[in-house]
Amino acid sequence: MAAFKFKDQTNFYSGKVRDVYSIGNDLLVMIASDRISAFDVILPRPIPFKGQVLNEIAAYMLHACSDICPNWLISTPAPTASIGKKCTPFKIEMVVRGNLTGHAWRTYQSGLRTLCGINLPEGMKENDFFPMPIITPSTKASEGHDEDISKEEIIEQGLANAGDWEILERYALQLFERGKQIAEKQGLILVDTKYEFGKIEDDIILMDEIHTPDSSRYFYAEGFEERQANGEKQKQLSKEFVREWLIANNFMGKEGQTVPEMTDEWIQTISNRYIELFENIIGEKFVPKPMSEKDIFDKINTELEILIHP
């Protein structure tokens, strides 16, 4: 998708997955593309309807959690587009984990028993529940890989002060609990996720997407205990299957490694998995809403006119 040029636009940033437009001093337009990234690398082929899936799940979840903390979202004028309040972001991601999975498991499997300054219990198996959800923050790198960081390092480096950290921690755990409740109603387990926050003056605001397959991992609840007892892999809905495919094909985003070929069949499989998550987590049939770039641009412009010149 080509970059747009909106009236009163003051900045443009193309991220791994989203294109973000600053409008004046107070508004952001965020467009969820069909790009897909893993290991901080944008993969060479887009995934049909992925942007719509992410945008619509994020909007649904932000509305469902709006009583917990203020969030950035104002409206969704197009299937892949959101307009919201511009915040000054904290340069950290609040990663909340309910189970020993993914990066946490790989760390644990290597023999380490601390992650981001948190002590991990002995004797855990992959995918076991932690006694309580834990927060394992990471730095939000503008380039390269995000890095694990502890609460103490965050405060020491001035990425958040102690008072703000308390609020970030409380919001993140409350959001995770709500996400788990929403997932449970649909027969899913919210395994881990990340939240991003910013500030408008003194207020801490929830930003970006929440509880989507790009920011979260879900297991199917049915059969979870049996699979754990038998040492079987869990049936999951997340982007982890893409990472696993890359690892199996000797790609982890390291220098000199090449992204394996993404066949049409594999692209369709990824698209179907994203749609599957939408339908499972929202509990509604996914309705594809293909839209031309001109129509997306026009719908966003109309909404901006209303917001800027009501």
Residue 188's domain spans which residues?
A: 89-241
Global confidence as pTM: 0.90
pLDDT for the residue 141: 67
List, for residues 148-184, the tens digit of each pLDDT value. 999 999 999 999 999 999 999 999 999 999 999 999 9
Q: Is residue 235 part of a domain?
A: yes
Q: Is residue 181 part of a domain?
A: yes
- How far is Cα 66 from Cα 88, in angstroms, rounded to an integer? 19
Tell me the C-alpha to C-alpha distance, in Å, between residue 79 and each of 20, 149, 257, 283: 15, 35, 35, 18
Reading the block at residue 307, the tokens are 């917001």
Q: Which of 205, 202, 187 is nearest to 62 (CA)?
A: 205
Q: Is residue 135 part of a domain?
A: yes
- How far is Cα 136 from Cα 150, in angstroms, rounded to an integer? 7
pLDDT for the residue 164: 98
Q: Of 59-73, 129-143, 213-227, where does the model show the most confidence?
A: 59-73
144 pLDDT band (50/70/90 cuts)? Answer: low
Reading the block at residue 121, the tokens are 């219990």
Q: Is residue 47 part of a domain?
A: no
Q: Which helix (H) or strand (E) holds 191?
A: strand 188-200
Helix residue ranges, H only, 90-202: 102-109, 151-156, 162-185
- How far is Cα 271 from Cα 35, in angstroms, rounded to an integer? 11
Q: Is residue 145 part of a domain?
A: yes
Q: Which of 281, 275, 310, 257 is nearest to 51 (CA)?
A: 275
> How many other CB atoms are there within 10 angstroms of residue 62's CB atom?
21
Q: Is residue 301 part of a domain?
A: no
What mean pLDDT comes out for the span 249-275? 93
Helix residue ranges, H only, the chain: 50-64, 102-109, 151-156, 162-185, 224-229, 240-248, 264-282, 293-308
Tell me the C-alpha to C-alpha distance, in Å, between residue 69 and each of 73, 169, 173, 178, 270: 12, 12, 12, 12, 32
Q: Is residue 51 part of a domain?
A: no
> Which phi and psi (to 5°) does residue 134 adopt?
-120, 155
List, for residues 37-74, the tens digit of each pLDDT value. 988 888 999 999 999 999 999 999 999 999 999 999 99
Q: Is the pLDDT of residue 262 over 90?
A: yes
What's the angle, vertex CA 284, arms to CA 282 and CA 288, rounded to 5?
Answer: 105
Reading the block at residue 170, the tokens are 């409380």
- How far is Cα 170 from Cα 195, in angstroms, rounded to an integer? 12
Q: Is residue 70 part of a domain?
A: no
Tell me the C-alpha to C-alpha distance, in Å, between residue 269 and each of 16, 48, 252: 21, 10, 21
Identify the sign of the CA torsion 279, 282, 288, 293.
negative
How many separate domains does the chain show? 1
pLDDT for the residue 140: 80
- How far is Cα 193 from Cα 217, in angstroms, rounded to an integer? 6
CATH of residue 190's domain is 3.30.470.20
